[in-house]
């Protein structure tokens, strides 16, 4: 977990009584506390795709590395959202043409006033086009002015997700939801950037962000996925570098959805609404070792809910990295 979040509110949280855990100030304190593992969960009825509301703490259970954990905190608040819009500018297919830009502007216009958004572009390089802002007119202007496509360059997903995750730490909503939404035509690609998948995944898990992707559906996009995206599995088998947007989505509990150009605004609206509507759970791990190792998380819904609702699909982060002790961090720095 990202230690920078935690020290700010440790004292404030220690003074809070258990009965006050549902207040906004305690929401923020809880999200900053070092020993809490935070898990945002989106339960969706498989048959209809409807988000299931009115669930209670006892409707969820969490295991870490196979060991049952106690849910210490539960919330279903509509929290503000901090979004990094990650726009792919590489390859032979343009997933951000004029039609897509206009659709994105319409979708951004549906956000709540307290929601903030930043824009980054990526190809062989990653660039911050617009820092976090709530100014919708400024965002619209920046979307229209996003740089032209770099046809000769590659889709470096690892570097893009890493830079977006690092920048996410500047979000003005420390107690809100955090989302990285990629607009692209690919779900995976060759990636020879300086950032590995492991480094990018560590950064995004520490940032607390959920990664989602909107794949612009077109004939050209399918062709490019076949040429650029399919070889990634072979590269991994050979021990070479590749980047998978799909992997980041699955590990953080986001969505990867396809949309034709005329449905991008509705799709983007739904993705953002789902992020804002998730349940927040938190637990204190029974594994007290501060070893910096990755730990697997499993979230389950109670049988009673599935009896009532039918089969339920849960989107939630799959893992986190435990904080290292000061001694371990010092040892690593001296190596």
pTM score of the predicted model: 0.80
pLDDT tens, 160-200? 999 999 999 888 876 678 999 999 988 888 788 899 989 99
DSSP for 48-112, please give it: T-PBP-S--GGGEEEEETTEEE-EEEEE-----EEEEEEEE-BSSS-TT-HHHHHHHHHHHTTS-
Nearest CA among 149, 161, 218 for reference residue 189 = 161
Residue 17 in domain: no
- C-alpha to C-alpha distance for 247 and 232, rounded to whole angstroms: 12
Q: Structural domain of residue 252, as residue ranges?
A: 81-276
Same domain, 232 and 97: yes
Please give the average per-residue pLDDT across 312-316, as a whole number. Answer: 94
Same domain, 264 and 285: no
CB 84 within 8 A of CB 167: yes
Residue 303 in domain: yes
Structure confidence at residue 76 as a pLDDT band (50, 70, 90): confident
Structure confidence at residue 220 as a pLDDT band (50, 70, 90): low
Same domain, 28 and 104: no
Average pLDDT, the chain: 81
Residue 211 maps to which CATH number?
A: 3.40.50.410
End residue of a domain, out of 276, 296, 319:
276
Considering only the C-alpha atoms of the chain, give the largest distance between any 2 of them, rounded to a whole number of Å: 58
Q: Cα 136 to chain center, whole Å?
A: 22
Same domain, 7 and 118: no
End residue of a domain, out of 276, 296, 323:
276
Residue 19 in domain: no
Please give the average per-residue pLDDT across 249-268, as a whole number. Answer: 89
The pLDDT, as a whole number, for residue 35 is: 75
Residue 285 in domain: yes
End residue of a domain, out of 261, 276, 291:
276
**Residue 84: pLDDT above 90?**
yes
Coil, strand or helix: which one is 329?
helix
Residue 168 phi/psi, 5-degree rounding, is -60, -25
CA atoms within 13 A on the CB side of 132: 19
Residue 266 in domain: yes
Domain total of the chain = 2
Same domain, 100 and 244: yes
Residue 222 in domain: yes
pLDDT tens, 101-139? 998 998 888 888 999 999 999 999 999 999 999 999 999
**Pair of tokens at residue 334:** 């001296």
Same domain, 178 and 302: no
Residue with structure tokens 């990755």? 294
CB 322 within 8 A of CB 290: yes
**Residue 256: pLDDT above 60?**
yes
CB 84 within 8 A of CB 180: yes
- C-alpha to C-alpha distance for 296 and 303, rounded to whole angstroms: 22
Beta-strand (E) ranges in 218-293?
242-244, 256-259, 279-284
Same domain, 125 and 268: yes
Residue 329 in domain: yes
Residue 154 in domain: yes
The pLDDT, as a whole number, for residue 69 is: 97
Fill in the DSSP letter of residue 45. Answer: E
The pLDDT, as a whole number, for residue 16 is: 32
Same domain, 237 and 105: yes
CB 37 within 8 A of CB 285: yes
The pLDDT, as a whole number, for residue 238 is: 55
């Amino acid at each position: 977990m990202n230690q920078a979040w935690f020290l700010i509110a440790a004292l404030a949280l220690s003074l809070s009584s258990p009965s006050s855990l549902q207040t906004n100030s305690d929401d923020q304190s809880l999200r900053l506390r070092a020993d809490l593992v935070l898990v945002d969960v989106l339960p969706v009825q498989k048959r209809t795709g409807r988000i299931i509301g009115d669930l209670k703490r006892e409707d969820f259970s969490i295991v870490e590395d196979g060991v049952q954990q106690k849910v210490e905190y539960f919330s279903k608040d509509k929290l503000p959202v901090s979004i990094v819009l990650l726009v792919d500018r590489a390859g032979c297919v343009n997933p951000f043409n004029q039609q897509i830009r206009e659709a994105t502007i319409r979708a951004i216009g549906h956000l709540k006033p307290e929601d903030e958004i930043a824009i980054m572009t990526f190809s062989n390089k990653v660039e911050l086009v617009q820092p976090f802002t709530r100014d919708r007119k400024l965002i619209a202007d920046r979307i229209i002015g996003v740089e032209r496509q770099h046809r000769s360059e590659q889709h470096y997903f690892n570097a893009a997700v890493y830079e977006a995750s690092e920048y996410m730490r500047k979000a003005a909503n420390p107690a809100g939801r955090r989302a990285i939404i990629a607009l692209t035509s690919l779900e995976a690609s060759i990636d020879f950037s300086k950032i590995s998948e492991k480094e990018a995944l560590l950064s995004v898990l520490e940032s607390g962000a959920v990664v989602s992707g909107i794949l612009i559906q077109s004939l050209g996009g399918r062709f490019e996925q076949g040429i650029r995206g399919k070889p990634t599995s072979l590269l991994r088998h050979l021990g070479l570098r590749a980047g998978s947007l799909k992997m980041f989505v699955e590990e953080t509990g986001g969505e990867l959805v396809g949309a034709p150009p005329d449905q991008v605004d509705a799709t983007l609206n739904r993705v953002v609404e789902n992020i804002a509507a998730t349940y927040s759970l938190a637990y204190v791990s029974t594994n007290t070792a501060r070893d910096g190792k990755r730990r697997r998380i499993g979230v389950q819904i109670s049988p009673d809910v599935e009896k009532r609702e039918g089969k339920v699909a849960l989107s939630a982060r799959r893992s986190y990295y435990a904080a290292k002790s000061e001694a371990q961090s010092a040892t690593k720095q001296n190596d």
